[in-house]
Structure 1
């Protein structure tokens, strides 16, 4: 349905009742060339993120897109003063509405007018005619300013003369005396109260507007890179904002090589370099990328890095992730990339590490809770706890179920350990987070999580939350009390001199404003109030002064913390953790009980586990977290079930009776007393060898198993022997590195050429003569991996005697391996044999076409 409107003013509406499902409707408002046309959204209620109203500045969809409305657009303060208004300058406006088949709402009521004043001057001025093409503008009343006379200034005359004075000739704002601060000079310096301000920015340019960008602070400048815009040709990739003068500057890049425009990437600052990773490239090839670029601030130049990818997984191409550069205890400088979405691998649960010094890339094995990765979370790095805190995001729960979460995770960088912390209770994604004085401040985001009916959740939020790291407590802070609504998602937030700066984002229109939050100042509090300084701040009393938490933490050995008494977890709270590690690696006070369930630590349990290090890894739970075929196939312990669209653990029989499936291998412990050669022969007869314990997972398993044999006190042979006078190597030919397992003190001795494992107070290796007898042995063999053969040929091609499929089928038929047709009518043969000379990729043998 298309409609044309030519009156100088009027209304657009979907009708008196809820709009229909699967609706498409277009309106064209025709003024005259170069006239200013204003659209005022008096009411708008559609399904967030699915039912949209597109607004173009012109007479077709090829004109510039300037706004996309979706969700509940309801003014939160001051009535009609904050109702959204969209302006076109071509003299035309094309509006296109689209709805899907999920659910419908009350729709919209839009008032349009040609050559009118913005927001009718907000009732704080009069509309007058200017000299340019007969256009009109607002002439504001005293103490009101802005294009729409909607910005108040000099409230209460700035407390003149004691607090400050009103600058009526310049920017029309309060100029405070040295001991006063705030938009109206009503707060002392320092102050026990917080406040928000909207600084006057110079210049304001539409090319600055963007969302899903990233920002970092270096010196007095905020550097903004990338972001989503409606028009990339007029947008600059790199922007510089002076935090002192509130002035934007476009950056002229000096290097010939430079990245394509992108959004959903990450930025991390190290010394004078900004590291940009991944993101969605909107121009050019238009894919999610794994490019790593470095912007060198002093020379204003870009360099592209190509890191060496080490073992344990690929380098993931991701968007909607986050990154932090951390100096590790080892001295390495590592950029840690958290989660994200990959077009190839889906939602990523893994952590990625980039070593800046060695230019190498690693996907490390992590410990602790089993976390679920996602898109659009926020994260901060706390130097005091040396941990990254990850909140919220959009996640996949099963292969066809998605949603927002309120999770909070802690990732301890030096031990690579995940811990589940208290959730916020308010799910969101595409929000921001910063850390100020020991508190994580979370702002904005998309909070819509409705599926079949609306519960009032908004696409764009101005929620303001605070998480106290020391107490593991959340608090909801007051929303910004400014002259207009500041709801948004996809914005950025940084900290400079203790203040939070929020820039840009999306709220039906791309935003270019800067919000500044000034938290309370610890120095304003006396000793009796210092430890409980107030909302959104954590302070410490040190040498007769109240100082910020991070400063006090670094200078004081004793850290007194006053926290609210923590409520004991209920069984209902703990039941949601379905595996041992997540049950015990969290702060909710849970325990893992013998019947494989998570209950309150206060509940009765005969055989309890309260430390995640004592948990047995269950592959079926690890695999269930992998909701994409490609990520599932990367784990050698998992296989993808095409029919049920889920990742399942490989059957236990892949190792066989008496063996244990540990990581990528099968392990078996025997208590018989043998010399090294006989122990090796024993393993050989079982199609294995003495174990090469090269991973921490294998070592932990063996040590846990030996704990069960404490009465027998077995000290088993392992597959480690002296190759020459100074070199020890494992049976699988890998070198001994003395990391996952270490020699006992004064070992290895000169008389021993073989090694056995001693489980004493501290586990370790002892050299021993190979001809002597040891109490026990540890065998190892590879996992019997199931190979799935997928053919792109149709079933009819199978009948062709000379086809590659037929020749392969003849080879399989000798082993009585059946063929089946899958859902796509393609041939699938399953075999527990090794793939042989066929081309193999991630556990699957693929026949090359001829």
Structure 2
């Protein structure tokens, strides 16, 4: 690997930092672009050249072969370095023989623009220089842990060294702030100083090397630093490239600062103190320290910092001069009244309740230790390891305690085990992408490792993880062996396509490089043709060949279709990608089409359901579609009108609907009506059972009628469905215990129909007249 570039690389208008030019000498280079979706970046610009000189000689020279011949006023491998930049800034003379500035006394730098006694940076030459490296150092000072003033410049992987009363912080990764559009540089060149005795921070001038034009190597993280003979040395680090150069910072000289204002205000990388008796500016090591030498303007707002401490122990273990007041932290003193229930001191003369403050952390109850740990736990397992903590649904660790304050003593109750949340398996125990992404974890395919999602940047700070996911559905395209198409294979930087040589585009995605698949000596691996940066021109998924480059011969074979034979033909389903199969749809004769991937049938008869149209909708339909000529029928009740509106997306493929009706009384005529909004056909049939029991008839129909054991008589066939009204006299049917079947078919959705069966007893006119007349005559006699 030549380089890994990530995040905001340059963010300093005052300095001309630039990204290093990367040269590949092997004759080939593979560039992979990947967005990890973790940060809000604004994109990038990239340019390249082949068989050229560095930076094309920066327009200040002529390229001869692969080397630059520079113009008279420029030097360097890329002719990008003026021999005397900025006219030596007026503080030196240009020596054209030596091609450099000769600086006046007290000045330094390639353009003599830096004052020597204010401190400066330079590259230090070494012998037997080691290779580039990063992430290899640590420093310990003192053994006391307490909160100090914050720098408000968050970072990690920086260096820290003590020199003359100052803790010098250099570089680091500010990548975690780019999601807030602050454009903090990923590889920071920032130089900070923390005054230990004053508990204050100062931002120093960013490094400018005095003896080199190279500005590509300043910002970095993962480097080491050490102090030797009053100089700070920085070695190695990473900013897309591994560095092996040694940088040196020589702090300024306090004795050259002639006034008290300059003594305290100049940022020279050394702690200076004004000696009032001698009226001299001296270094921290030369004069006894006292508080009045601290710049109060550099102090942070301690009142605000104290208010952010919610635990007695953390309130008192810091440099903010806080005091603990009952249940809150305040600056220097307690300044409010307490509720009567709190522990306090009562002023009898005023009858007021005032707060008694705690100033010593030893007076804090031991339960503080447990509570203060809870908010520092960022996953379920570490949270539950603390006896007083509980992991919440909002992914926060909180303290589960109740408190009773009585005579400055705290009674605590441990969290019951039954209230503890059951944690999922830790990320580091998950060994596959599938089970890793089922939890709050991240799967790194290039490392084959499952990690905590919030630990990605710190575990892989120098580009070790080139492909990761937190989504289970993406697991299938992370491992090379799971990728089925050459196009997807090319998108994974560790994969290449092994073509089977058939000329149809079929092959296997495998791990490898431009030189070929990994483990080429493995006898089980046979690769007739290897592709790593592009795919074979003929991509027909193994179902056709190309007489013309990139154009599959049509029609495709093996029941496939498409420009690349990439899908199954209608009435077939499967996955034809890369030589896969297409199988016929199996719908029991109740449909022709099915889902091209799953084979789920699109049933054409309403009421028939199931993957293969093999069962009836049990809510309203009866029958058995798996029998020979079997189907499903909607059971119509007598003397009700039913409306069927088939206009929903699920109704798209319906062309038929069946009905069944058993009259309530076998000796009453039946009236039938059906109305269709659009064109359709209707068949009406009738069947019979030898048993007059209604329950038996219904059971008989379910068990025997649809299996062909009952003789059916067709009453009407092929009627056009418009507005049909029919009456069936039971005396004309000649069938005892009749059951009606109605088939409405040959329609297309959306489709609307109404259907009903009804029964009404016939009125005997003669009997009615005689009865009515008799009643009238009787009424006449009575009157």
Give the TM-score taking structure 2 as reference length: 0.43
Of structures 1 and 2, the one with the larger relative CO (CA 8 A, separation 6+) is: 1
Question: Which structure has the highest strand share of the two?
Answer: 1
